[in-house]
Amino acid sequence: MIRAAYLSALLSTAILASSSIAGCDGPESSLTLLETGPLGAYATEVQPHVAERCASGGCHGRADRRLRLYAPGHYRADASRLHLDEPLTQQELGENARRLAAFAHGSELESSELFCKPLALEAGGCAHGVGEVFVDWTDPTCLALERWLSGRAPVDGGLP
């Protein structure tokens, strides 16, 4: 008696599970490929600004920051190269580029965290742990980021 009840419970669970798997296409994938600007332009036109204005050890040059950035003389992918004043590797440049692009992903640049954080509140910025970095949109680092990201395109499997 008990065995029969157990088997029928097992059977109805199996039927339920298989029908839900078969019928369900799963949630609509809202994942979109990250869009970045070209790496070449990043290395020559953006990274110098990032190294000077964002990536020092007390700011974004640290592993515990959501936006963590590599820079010569500061945070490095290879801990044994920490603080060595030498050029970044292609991999570190690619990671910096993707991380910066990720904070502008899926939104208009103007309203993205990448721009609103460092931008002064009076110029439309949002609160930033240490206050403003860009006085307004004419700031050279702001312009370099904007120019680079205005040419953004999906990263299709390969590195940007």
Q: Single out the residue of 38, 41, 62, 128 in contact with ligand HEM (rule: CB under 6 A).
A: 128
What residue number has its CB nearest to ligand HEM? 129
d(CA 144, CA 150): 10
Kindly state whether residue 117 participates in binding ligand HEM, applying the rule CB under 6 A.
yes
Which of 34, 51, 97, 114 touches ligand HEM by CB under 6 A? 114
Largest CA distance in the chain: 80
Burial (0-12, 13-18, 19+ Cβ within 10 Å), 83: exposed
- Interface with ligand HEM includes 63 (CB under 6 A)? no
| Binding of residue 58 to ligand HEM (CB under 6 A) | yes
Q: Which is nearer to ligand HEM, 8 or 106 (CB)?
A: 106
Under rule CB under 6 A, residue 152 binds ligand HEM: no
123: phi > 0 → left, psi -120 to 50 → alpha, else beta; which? alpha
CB closer to ligand HEM, 39 vs 116: 116
| Amino acid in the structure at residue 2 | I
* Binding flag, residue 62, ligand HEM (CB under 6 A): no
- Does the footprint of ligand HEM cover residue 26 (CB under 6 A)? no
In the list 62, 81, 113, 143, the residue contacting ligand HEM (rule: CB under 6 A) is 113
Q: Which residues of 10-47 are buried (b: 16+ CB within 10 A; e: fewer)?
A: eeeeeeeeeeeeeeeeeeeeeeeebbbbebebbbebbb
Q: Does 137 bind ligand HEM (CB under 6 A)?
A: no
Which of 133, 137, 146, 152 forms a contact with ligand HEM (CB under 6 A)? 133
